[in-house]
Chains A and B, each alone.
Chain A
C-alpha cells in the first residue's frame, strides 16, 4: 500500500498544526479509515493519530446539566457507561446494535461521526462516484441499489450514511464540538453531515484543518429517557448495517405526547431528523393512529432512487413501530439483541 507518515501529537495545538497539511487523514480507531486505505479509496500522505490526545476519552456532565463526550471515547465504553446509558438509552441501544463487539471496542465517537458511506461504488476507486471523485458520475444509479437513499438524494449521489449511533443523536439535538485553526465552534449533529446537491464530495460541515473534539448532548435530551427506543431492520441478526432504522423518543404526560424526537437511519446521506412528524405528535394521544400519521408525514417527500421504493413503505412502518415501542417505555435492561426486531428479551420497562 501507499507509504505514509504517522504522527501522534501530544497536544491539540500539535494536532491542529499537523492537520494544516492537506493530504492528511485523522486516525481514531481506524475501523473505517484503514479499510479505505487498503481499498485505495483513501490515500493520505500522513495520518494524525488523535487517540493519545489528553482529555478526549472523557465522558462528563457539565455544570448546566449537559453531557460532553470526548471524540476518542470508544463506542463500547460509551454504551456501557451506566450514567450515559440511563440518560440516553436509545443512544446506547444504537451503539450496541452496530458492528461487532471487536469493532465497538476499537471504534471511536469521532470516527463514527466521520465514517464514510458503505456505498459499494464509493468504496471502489475504479468506479464513478461523485462523492469520491467529483464530476465522475454515479454508478449506483444504475446498479444494485436496493439499499440506497429515498430521502435527500440527488442524481449526483444516492448514498446513505451508515451510522446507527448518529440517528438517535440527530433526534436528541446533539451538537458537535469542532476545533480548528479559528478556534472552537459547535455544529448541530442534525446538519453535520451534508446532503448532496449538484455535487456530493463535501460530506461533513468540517472545514479544512478542523477536527471533531467532542459531542454535546443538552440536559433536556435526558428528559426522554423513559420513552426512548432505537430499532433496526437488517438482514443478519448482528454485524450488519441497517437497511433502515429509527430512533424515537417521547415525553408522555397523562397519555398524551408532550414532546417527540424522531430520526430515521438508512434513508439519506445524513441521519434524517423528522421535524414535521414531531410537530404532529405534540399533544396527540400516545396511540397507534398518532404514530401512523406522524410516520406518514415523515416520508412525505420520499422518493426511490432506484430499486428501493420498498424502503419508503418500510421506513414508515419502522417509525411507527419505534414510536409504539418508545410509548411502551424504555426496557429496564438493554435487550439481548439491541435494536433488533427479533429480540425476545423481557419487556419490563424502566421508567414508564
Chain B
C-alpha cells in the first residue's frame, strides 16, 4: 500500500470543470420557482385518476361507471369497454426499452394497482371520488407472490437484453482444486424507487402534435415510444422535462399513466393532467425485483479464488420478462480463473420490475460481498486482505485490460480513514462505551462506465457569450450544473457566459440519463460542440490578416475566458466578440457528438470502482442496529464537480444503508396488494440514521472511456455498501443474516 493516502486533488480541465459549483438550479428549486411537470395547468384542463385493481390476479366483472359519472364534476370514465383504439398493441414490445403496459386492453388483472379504468373530471377531488365510486366487482384468483408461489421459468435475457448466463474457465475443475468451498444463499426483497416527485403528466394535443410535460430520463429517445401508440411521427411528440424530482430508472421507461393521459387528452380534446399518488407508484411504474441468489466460492490454500459461481432467481411479472441481472456482479469484480453466472426467473402477480438505481449491481454485489466475507473468514483472512489477494488486474470476464482502475488506492484510502487495520478477526469482540456490540465490515463497489449516443449544439453569440443545447435530464443529480460546466470548458468561456438549454425534446438528443453515463455521454457531446465552435472561430481568426492571430499556422491556439491566444505569445490574442464582429458574423454554431471510440470499447473493460467500510452498533439485548460510520472511497475517472459527485456518492451509500436495514415491499398473501405502499410503512433512511458518513474520491485518469476521462458516480455508491453493512452486523454479533433487510429479530 502506498504511504501517502491523502486524497489527491483532481486535475482540473480549466477554469470550469473541477469546480465544486453549487447547483445552478438550486435557488429555483428551493424557492418553488422550478416548474415540475405537475405544476403545469393549461387552460381547460381535465384531471385524470387511475382506478387501480384491488387484487393481484383475476378479472373485473363490473364497474359502476354510472355512479362515477353521476358524481358532480366527473366528465368521462374510460374502461376496456369504451377505451379508444391505440395504434400499438400494449402487449407488444417493439423496442429494447419497451415494457408491456396495462392500458385497459381487457378486463384481466395482472397485478394490484393495474389500471381498471381512467376517470376524468373538472377537479382532482372529483376524479378521485369518481374512481372510488366505481366500486369494482372482482373475480379474484389467488395471488402468486413469493419464491414459493411464483412460477419458475428459464430466462432468455436479463436486464436490458443481456445474456442470462456466462461462463469463463472450468468451474468444476476450479471447485475440485479448492481447499475450501463456501456456499451462501441470499434473498433480497422487492424494492421501490420512491422518487420524491410522483410520476405525473400533463398531455395536450395541438392537431396531430402531442405536447407533454412529464418527468423523463430519456427525453428524445422516448418520443418514438409515445408516437407508436398514436400512429404519429416521433417528431410530432414534444416532451418537456426540465426537472425531475428523482428518477432512479423509473422515469426512463414509459408507464401506463403517461399513455392513458395522452389518450384521454386526444379523446376529450382537452389537456389532461394525471398525477399518481404515492400508493399508485407501487405497481405500474417498475421496481427492483426480488432475488434469491446462490453463490459458491472455491478458495485455495493461498486464499485465492479457484472458482466462483453465482446463480440468481429473479422475480418478474406474470406477463413480461425484465429480470434483475444480479449474478453478473460476479463477472467483473474479483480475479478468478473459472466463473459461472446464470439467471432464471420466477413469475409473480406483480407489476413488471425495471431498472432501479444499479439494477443487478446493487442486489448482486450485496450477495457477492457477503459471500466474500464468509469465504475470507473461512480462510482465516482479513476481508480486505482476501480481496487484495483476489484483485483483478484484468477484467475476469473478458481478460481485457481496464481503461483505468484505481481500486487499490480506494482500498488503501478507505481503510486508512476508517482505521480498518485494528479490526479483530473474530466477531463479537468490540463494544462501545455504552456496551453496544460494534462490528466492522467492508465491500467492493463496482459499476460499469457506459457511454450512449448524444448530440449537442453550441452557438457563440455576437457579444461573446454562448448558448449550448442538448435534451439532457436533470434528475436532481446536478446535470444542469455539471453539463454546463463541461460546455463552458469546451467553449473556453466562464460558466456565467454560457446559457444552457436542456430538458426539452426539441433540442439535440442527449441520450438517456441512466447507467451512470449521462455526464460522460451528454458531456462529451457538449464539449465537442464547443470545440467545434472554437475550431471554426480559430479558422476565422487565423485566416484574417487583421487578426493578431493571423498566420498562427500550426502553433497552438488556446481558447480561454472568451479569448483566443497563441500559446507562449500571450500578446497575440483576440476576444471571441471581436473575431465575430470583424467577420461580420452575429453567431457561430458548432455541433458535437458523444459516443465511445469503438476501438477502445472493444479493447478495454471500463468500470468505476470503490471500497466501502461500515461500522454498526447493535444493542446486545434489544438488537436494534445502527450504522455508526460509513466511509467510501471511490475512483470514477475525472470528477467534473466534486460537490455534486460527493452528493451522488453519499446518496448511493445512504441507499445502500436502506437496502441493508430498511427497504422492503410487503404484499398481502391473499389479495397480493401492497401492505406498505407509503413512506410511513416503506422505510428509507432518515438523517438521524446517518451518524458519520464520508465519500472520498481518489485520483484516476482514464484516456479510454472518453476524451473527458469521465466515468460515472450515480449508482456506484449503493454497490458495496449493503454488503459492507451486513458484514459489519455479522462482525458485531456473529450472526449471518441471509435475507435483506436485516431486522432485529434476525439477530435473536
Interface string of A192-234 (1 = CB under 8 A from B): 0000000000000000000000000000000000000000011
Contact, CB under 8 Å: A344 / B434: yes
Contact, CB under 8 Å: A2 / B622: no
Docked Cα-Cα span, A337 to B675, in Å, equals: 29
The residue on B at minimum CB distance from A313 is: B748
**B735 at interface, CB cutoff 8 A:** no
Contact, CB under 8 Å: A127 / B668: yes
**Chain B positions within 8 Å of A342 at CB level:** 436, 617, 619, 624, 626
**B670 at interface, CB cutoff 8 A:** yes
Docked Cα-Cα span, A314 to B669, in Å, equals: 27
Docked Cα-Cα span, A240 to B125, in Å, equals: 30
Docked Cα-Cα span, A142 to B670, in Å, equals: 9
Interface string of A117-150 (1 = CB under 8 A from B): 0101100101100000000000100111010000
Which of B128, B436, B621 makes the CB contact (< 8 A) with A317?
A: B621
**A24 at interface, CB cutoff 8 A:** no
**B681 at interface, CB cutoff 8 A:** yes
Q: Knowing A118-B680, A126-B673 touch, does A237 contact B626 (C-beta < 8 A)?
A: yes
Contact, CB under 8 Å: B622 / A143: no
The residue on B at minimum CB distance from A337 is: B688
Q: How far apart are B138's CB and chain A's nearest CB, in angstroms? A: 9
**Chain A positions within 8 Å of B521 at CB level:** none
**Chain B positions within 8 Å of A2 at CB level:** 129, 132
Docked Cα-Cα span, A139 to B622, in Å, equals: 28
Which of B662, B673, B675 makes the CB contact (< 8 A) with A235?
A: B662
Residues B688-719 near A (CB distance < 8 A): 688-689
**A261 at interface, CB cutoff 8 A:** no
Q: Knowing A118-B680, A237-B688 touch, does A126 contact B626 (C-beta < 8 A)?
A: no
The residue on A at minimum CB distance from B136 is: A126
**Chain B positions within 8 Å of A238 at CB level:** 686-689
Contact, CB under 8 Å: B676 / A120: yes
**A73 at interface, CB cutoff 8 A:** no
**Chain A positions within 8 Å of B683 at CB level:** 235-236, 240
Q: How far apart are A93's CB and chain B's nearest CB, in angstroms? A: 15
**B54 at interface, CB cutoff 8 A:** yes
Docked Cα-Cα span, A126 to B112, in Å, equals: 12
Number of interface residues of A (CB under 8 A): 36
Contact, CB under 8 Å: A120 / B666: yes
Contact, CB under 8 Å: B744 / A243: yes
Contact, CB under 8 Å: B434 / A321: no
Docked Cα-Cα span, A181 to B338, in Å, equals: 81
**A3 at interface, CB cutoff 8 A:** yes
**A40 at interface, CB cutoff 8 A:** yes
Interface string of B614-636 (1 = CB under 8 A from A): 00010101111110000000000
**A239 at interface, CB cutoff 8 A:** yes
**A6 at interface, CB cutoff 8 A:** no
Docked Cα-Cα span, A126 to B666, in Å, equals: 16
Docked Cα-Cα span, A146 to B748, in Å, equals: 13
Which of B128, B622, B689, B748 makes the CB contact (< 8 A) with A321?
A: B622
**B3 at interface, CB cutoff 8 A:** no
Q: How far apart are B166's CB and chain A's nearest CB, in angstroms? A: 36
Contact, CB under 8 Å: B680 / A143: no
Contact, CB under 8 Å: B619 / A341: yes
Contact, CB under 8 Å: B132 / A40: yes
Q: Knowing A1-B128, A121-B668, A318-B622 touch, does A146 contact B745 (C-beta < 8 A)?
A: yes
Residues B381-439 near A (CB distance < 8 A): 433-434, 436
Mostly, the A contact residues are loop
Q: Chain B: interface residue count, which band? A: 35 or more
Docked Cα-Cα span, A126 to B686, in Å, equals: 31
Docked Cα-Cα span, A127 to B673, in Å, equals: 9
Contact, CB under 8 Å: A143 / B669: yes
Residues B121-179 near A (CB distance < 8 A): 125, 128-129, 132
Which of B277, B433, B621, B685 makes the CB contact (< 8 A) with A236?
A: B685
Q: How far apart are A99's CB and chain B's nearest CB, in angstroms? A: 9
Docked Cα-Cα span, A236 to B682, in Å, equals: 11
Contact, CB under 8 Å: A237 / B668: no
Which of A38, A121, A236 makes the CB contact (< 8 A) with B686?
A: A236
Q: How far apart are A306's CB and chain B's nearest CB, in angstroms? A: 12
**B272 at interface, CB cutoff 8 A:** no
The residue on B at minimum CB distance from A38 is: B277
Which of A3, A120, A127, A233 makes the CB contact (< 8 A) with B624?
A: A233
Q: How far apart are A120's CB and chain B's nearest CB, in angstroms? A: 4
**B661 at interface, CB cutoff 8 A:** yes
Q: How far apart are B546's CB and chain A's nearest CB, in angstroms? A: 66
**Chain B positions within 8 Å of A317 at CB level:** 621-622
Which of A1, A139, A244 makes the CB contact (< 8 A) with B670?
A: A139
Q: Knowing A235-B683, A341-B624 touch, does A1 contact B744 (C-beta < 8 A)?
A: no
Contact, CB under 8 Å: B671 / A126: yes
**Chain B positions within 8 Å of A124 at CB level:** 668, 673, 675
Q: Knowing A142-B670, A144-B666, A310-B745 touch, does A233 contact B622 (C-beta < 8 A)?
A: yes
Q: How far apart are A334's CB and chain B's nearest CB, in angstroms? A: 15
**Chain B positions within 8 Å of A120 at CB level:** 666, 668, 675-676, 681
Docked Cα-Cα span, A1 to B673, in Å, equals: 21
Contact, CB under 8 Å: A142 / B686: no
**Chain A positions within 8 Å of B621 at CB level:** 314, 317, 321
Q: Knowing A318-B622, A321-B622 touch, does A1 contact B125 (C-beta < 8 A)?
A: yes
The residue on B at minimum CB distance from A315 is: B622
Docked Cα-Cα span, A243 to B745, in Å, equals: 11
Interface centre among B129, B433, B623, B687 (most CB of A within 10 A): B623
**B743 at interface, CB cutoff 8 A:** yes
Q: List 6 A-B contacts (CB under 8 A).
A: A143-B668, A143-B669, A236-B685, A236-B688, A314-B744, A314-B748
Q: Name the 4 nearest CB pairs between A and B, nearest first.
A: A237-B688, A120-B675, A310-B745, A238-B688
Apart from A127-B668, A236-B686, what 7 extra A-B contacts exist at CB < 8 Å?
A2-B132, A126-B673, A142-B670, A144-B666, A233-B622, A239-B688, A342-B617
